[in-house]
Amino acid sequence: MLTLGIESSCDDTAIAILDDDDIVVSLRSGQDDIHTLFGGVVPELASREHLRAIQPLFDAALKQARYTLDDIELIAATQGPGLVGSLLVGFSYAKALACVKNIPLVGVDHIAGHLLSVFLQKEKRPPAFPYLSLLVSGGNTALYLVKSFTEFECLGRTRDDAAGEAFDKVAKLLGLPYPGGPEVAKLAERGSKDAFFFPRSWLDNSLDFSFSGLKTAVRNQVNQLEQKKDVLPSLPMEDICASFQEAVIEVLSKKTIQAAKQHHIKDIAIGGGVSANSALRQRLADCCTREGCQFYAPQPQFCTDNAAMIAFAGKMQYQQQGGCASTLVTDVFSRSALGQ
Ligand code: KG4
């Protein structure tokens, strides 16, 4: 089955074509250079950029795959959660294509896409159901039990900021460009993770997360250091980044292992933009080895927002629900009801 995937939930326009489970093409058009001026995504600018990007990206994807729209058998588009203006561009575009060519359309929950993105990894056998997935992105931080291609149970989630949001806010505080995660990670490689102690929020051993206190602690530390400007010629950026990153990684990895033990799960996966962080991947891989678990991580290009994961999740949803498609009046949603 040839599936066209469309993703536009935040600031990446992405189009992919899957031939059954094989990725024929996966293209992405980012907007980092626009949002970096503001230190974060500006929703109205994001929707306008999607409008500009989507048609050329669609043309390029078909050309690169050497297909025409007549070859496409299913369209899967992100329906939510995300920025409504951004979602509407991709989802309405998908509806128009589906309507003109009478192709079935499925609306996909973006979170399901991330949770299933480990299936795009061809080099390794996929995890067995039920597996545990740590979803860490700019908009979400949560632990899910993935019971099948269409059944997800949320075991815990952030009560305030997402981990990626904390990375982006700390980066902004330090004057680094958006998105801040990769910039902080790069500086952290040259710093000492023990230079500063930043608080970890354990929340009485619940599987929920909280990162807003950590972000405030980094801000307080930076303020203190800036008051010593006569002593310190410049901020110890590398050490701040490494110590902050360590606080995030320690909480994410310990709570993931705690969840796996509580639910007797041996296969552990990761997904979302922050899962591209190599220190986090390494820590989780080490913890899994120590606990006798298997660790699964998508290739870095499929950690951040992409349309291949949406095409895959949409195809599985369509096949498992007996070909049940969305209608032209189906609306987008800003909040996910997945696994509630
Ligand atoms: O999944 P994603 O592309 O978009 C959302 O759905 O949110 O995730 C983007 C987030 C941003 O906050 C970005 O700073 C973070 O992922 N990110 C990273 C890294 N690469 C991307 N955070 C830490 N380390 C990285 N290497």
Q: What is the pLDDT of residues 275-287, one digit of tens each?
A: 999 999 999 999 9
Site residues for ligand 1, CB cut-off 6 Å: 10, 137-139, 164, 167-168, 179-182, 185, 272-274, 276-277, 304-305
Convert 88-116 to b/e letters by CB count within 10 Å (16 or more is b): bbbbbbbbebbeeeebbbbbbbbbbbbbb
Q: Whose CA is nearest to atom 21 of ligand 1?
A: 273
CA of 295 to the centre of ligand 1 (A): 20
Average pLDDT of every residue of the chain: 95
- Supply the DSSP string of 234-294, one letter for each residue: S--HHHHHHHHHHHHHHHHHHHHHHHHHHTT--EEEEESGGGG-HHHHHHHHHHHHHHT-E
Distance in angstroms (rounded) separating the CA atoms of residues 182 and 68: 36
Question: Whole-model pTM?
Answer: 0.94
pLDDT digits (tens, 9 = 90+) for 180-196: 999 999 999 999 999 99
Q: Comparing 338 with 75, which gets the higher pLDDT?
A: 75
118-127, 222-231, 238-247: range with lowest mean pLDDT? 222-231
Closest ligand 1 atom to 280 CA:
24
- pLDDT at residue 246, rounded to an integer: 98
The pLDDT of 58-63, averaged and rounded, is 98
The pLDDT of 46-62, averaged and rounded, is 98
Closest ligand 1 atom to 180 CA:
14
- pLDDT at residue 232, rounded to an integer: 63
Closest ligand 1 atom to 276 CA:
26
Site to probe by mutation for ligand 1, drawn from 32, 251, 304, 338 as the one with most ligand atoms within 8 Å of Cβ, is 304
pLDDT digits (tens, 9 = 90+) for 95-151: 999 999 999 999 999 999 999 999 998 878 999 999 999 999 999 999 999 999 999
The pLDDT of 307-332, averaged and rounded, is 91
Site to probe by mutation for ligand 1, drawn from 274, 277, 283 as the one with most ligand atoms within 8 Å of Cβ, is 274
Tell me: pLDDT of 3 over 70.
yes
pLDDT digits (tens, 9 = 90+) for 156-173: 999 999 999 999 999 999
Residue 76 in 3-state DSSP? Answer: strand
Report residue 86 as tokens: 């951004």
CA of 321 to the centre of ligand 1 (A): 31
CA of 138 to the centre of ligand 1 (A): 5
Distance in angstroms (rounded) separating the CA atoms of residues 324 and 313: 14
Tell me: pLDDT of 230 over 70.
no
27-36, 294-303, 330-339: range with lowest mean pLDDT? 330-339
Q: Whose CA is nearest to atom 8 of ligand 1?
A: 273
CA of 102 to the centre of ligand 1 (A): 36
- pLDDT at residue 323, rounded to an integer: 77
Q: Name residue 147's amino acid.
A: K
Tell me: pLDDT of 21 over 90.
yes
In this structure, are residues 57 and 5 in contact, taking their beta carbons and an 8 Å threshold?
no
The pLDDT of 219-245, averaged and rounded, is 88
CA of 312 to the centre of ligand 1 (A): 21
Closest ligand 1 atom to 163 CA:
12
- pLDDT at residue 231, rounded to an integer: 61
- pLDDT at residue 227, rounded to an integer: 86
Tell me: pLDDT of 318 over 70.
yes
CA of 227 to the centre of ligand 1 (A): 31
- pLDDT at residue 340, rounded to an integer: 66
CA of 216 to the centre of ligand 1 (A): 20
Closest ligand 1 atom to 304 CA:
3
CA of 304 to the centre of ligand 1 (A): 6
- pLDDT at residue 233, rounded to an integer: 67
